[in-house]
Amino acid sequence: MSEKLDRARAYEEEKRTQTPEGSKCVFHLTPAVGWINDPNGFSRYQGEYHLFYQYHPYSTVWGPMHWGHQKTRDFIKWEHLPCALAPDTGYDGQGCFSGSAVEHEGKHILMYTGVLDRMEDDGRHTLRQTQCIAVGDGINYEKLPENPVITAQALPEGSSKEDFRDPRIWKEGDTFYAVAGSLGVDGSGQIALFSSADAGKWRFESILDANGGRYGKMWECPDFFPLEDSQILIVSPQFMHAEGLEFHNGNNAIYFVGSYDREKKKFLRKEARSVDYGLDFYAPQTVETADGRRVMTGWLQSWDNYLTPEEFPWSGIMSIPRELELRDDRLIQNPVRELERYRQNEVSHKGVTLSEKAGKTELEGVRGRVLDMTVEADVSRSDALTLHLAAGEGFETTLTYEKGKGTLTTDRTYSGLKKDLLCTRSMYVDAKEGKLKLRLLMDKYTLEVFVNDGEQAMSSVIFTPPEAEGIAFSCKGESSLDLVMYEIMV
């Protein structure tokens, strides 16, 4: 084990014991200490699910990337494990960037991007991103002496040597495959496909798909997997321009439904859609469960809106793991069913009448910041319906449906922010025959909304003081709703 990895492990162990009890999320993965971003290595290994992540233990802002590590049996209760990778070799000395993992013959194989970024003696700047392998037992991992196992020399001529990252490894039969993002000769994103018999020696197979300048620039964090009778490609484009309410400016997470031509090794895709329409969601990655479900998690933070309060010893939250299905060529996302085991203290209200004249309506027993709440509303006679969440002492975050626009909007303007950051985002929703169904998960600092049984997801973080637990409802016109709420206790 290297000195850098030893230091990181000792530091996180010391600091995590100093984190105040109850200061982090209850059922969402958060770090022991420091900064986290992209989920990495989401995989099944020896009957448990492991999740690694981009990690800088020494501060709550991005720094030289390590791989943090946790595991779970049910996607809800997470167990902290020691830091898995540190930037400690010549080829990854400036960062162990994003990647993935697969189980093989009792070993856990991690595939990641090593970053070399240095000034040479003659004044030249050298920047290279290469793909590397580490093999371990679920706790300790050894980097292959053959690393890096893939360099940009394997890519088509004219491809970038500086932007080549985020490998996604899987195994079919006796063959390993991996896709990775890079920039092509036209300066826009492409997804390269590689194969290997042993995960050590790799060969280039094809450009699986290419951006063509259509969706942003670099395509980060690709994930490529079968779902029902289709093939799914998820990518996280950089530098996108907003398009209506489907895509926003900057870093997005988008998906394509399509088919995979295995002979030509090409992905044939249909139109692109957003994975999540909220203010904070990026770099999702999936795993196949033992019972055949496809489960996804993403990073609940925006690169361009850093909200973490200064006094926090940690920064970064992973989304609730979500089960994926397909319906009419759309990804359907719902929280993993295991969450239902942790529901307690059910509160139910039926036939609640709301009116503009009555103003805000509070319901007995409906309050809290760690909850799972489903609201089914009749909005046929209202111009707008608003849910007031995390409310109290001048604080609130609102979720508003406007019938005339057909939109659902998250607004965290009054969530307690002290900086002029982006606070609102909207998406088009379908109020089916005047009915709207919303499932809300809140976990102290998170708000995840699933519309109409998972047709759309909208995720945002809010750093409102935890004692602001009020929940109320208001409308323009008249509305009625049924509600059921549970506390989540882990």
Q: What are the backbone dihedrals phi and psi of residue 378, each rounded to the nearest 5 degrees, phi first?
A: -90, 110
* Catalytic residue from among 38, 92, 163, 378: 38
Round to whole Å and give the CA distance between 344 and 341: 9
Among 373, 386, 385, CA closest to 347: 373
Instruction: Name the strand (E) or helix (H) holding 428.
Output: strand 424-428
Task: State the pairing for strand pair 34-45/314-315.
Answer: parallel
Going by C-alpha positions, the residue among 462, 449, 455 that lies closest to residue 417 is 462
Judge whether 150 and 194 are in contact, CB under 8 Å: yes
For residues 322, 327, 330, 336, the Cα torsion angle rounded to the nearest 10 degrees is: 0
Which one-letter amino acid corresponds to residue 414? Y
| Rg (alpha carbons) of the chain, rounded to whole number | 23
Name the DSSP class of 57: T
Question: Which among 57, 127, 48, 47 has a CA at the least distance from the CA of 85?
Answer: 57
Tokens encoding 244? 């209506």
Q: What is the distance between the alpha carbons of residues 108 and 13, in angstroms, rounded to a whole number?
A: 23
| Residue 38: active-site member | yes
Strand partners, 97: 113
Q: Where are the beta strands (DSSP E) in 294-418?
A: 294-299, 314-315, 322-327, 330-335, 343-355, 370-378, 382-392, 395-402, 407-414
CA atoms within 13 A on the CB side of 236: 22
The stretches of 196-297 forming alpha helices (DSSP H) are: none
> Which residues are part of the catalytic machinery?
38
